[in-house]
Structure 1
Amino acid sequence: MLSLSHSFALVARSVSKTYTPLLHYSSRFQSTAATRVVVRSTSQGTFTNDVIVRNKHNLLADEPTDVGGQDVGPNPYDLLLSSLGACTNMTIMMYARRKKMPLSGVTTSLSHSKIYREDCETCANDGPVKTGAKIDKITRVIELQGQLSKLDRDRLLQIAGKCPVSETLRRQNDIVDSLSAQM
Structure 2
Amino acid sequence: MVKVHKAADGKLKQTIEVGGNTFVADAPVAAGGDGAGPEPHDLLDAALGACTALTITMVARRKQMPLEDVRVEVTREEAGGLYKLFRRIELVGALDATQREYLLGIANKCPIHKALTGRFEISTELFN
Superposition TM-score, scaled by structure 1 size: 0.67
CA offsets, 1:14-67, max 9 Å, x none? xxxxxxxxxxxxxxxxxxxxxx1100023423321010113x111110011121
The whole-number CA distance in structure 2 between the counterparts of 1:93 and 1:159 is 10
Cα distance between partner residues in 1 of 2:12 and 2:101: 41
| Aligned: 1:47 with 2:18 | no
Distance of 2:122 and 2:81 partners within structure 1: 20
Aligned-partner SS, 2:102: helix
Instruction: Extract unaligned runs of 5+ from structure 1.
Output: 1-35, 116-132
- 2:26 is equivalent to residue 62 of structure 1: yes
Question: 1-side partners of 2:59 and 2:74: how far apart?
Answer: 21
Residue 169 of structure 1: aligned partner: 116
- How far apart are the structure 2 equivalents of 1:71 and 1:107? 25
Alignment of 1:59-138 (within 5 A): 59-115=23-79, 133-138=80-85
Asked if the contact 1:77–1:112 (Cα under 8 Å) also holds between the matched residues in 2, the reply is no
Query: How far did residue 170 of structure 1 move?
Result: 0.5
Task: Provide the rounded CA distance (Å) in 1 between the counterparts of 2:117 and 2:110.
Answer: 11
Which whole-Å CA distance do the structure 2 matches of 1:39 and 1:134 have between them? 26
The residue identity in structure 1 corresponding to 2:50 is A
Q: CA RMSD in A?
A: 1.2
Amino acid in the other structure paired with 2:82? I
User: Offset of 1:113 from its aligned partner?
Assistant: 1.4
Distance (Å, rounded) in 2 between the aligned partners of 1:42 and 1:96: 39
Any conservation in 2 of the 1:103–1:146 contact (CA below 8 Å)? Answer: yes
Q: Percent identity?
A: 38
Name segments (4+ residues, structure 1) moved above 4 Å.
none
SS in 2 for 1:60: strand
SS at match of 2:87: strand
Q: Deviations 1:133-165 (Å, cap 9, x if unpaired)?
A: 421101110010001111111111110010001
Unaligned ranges ≥5, structure 2: none
How far did 1:95 drift? 0.7
| Higher Cα radius of gyration | 1
Residue type at the aligned position of 1:53: V
Code of the residue aligned with 1:37 in structure 2: it is V
Give the structure with the larger strand fraction: 2
Mapped to 1, the partners of 2:10 and 2:31 lie a distance apart of 12
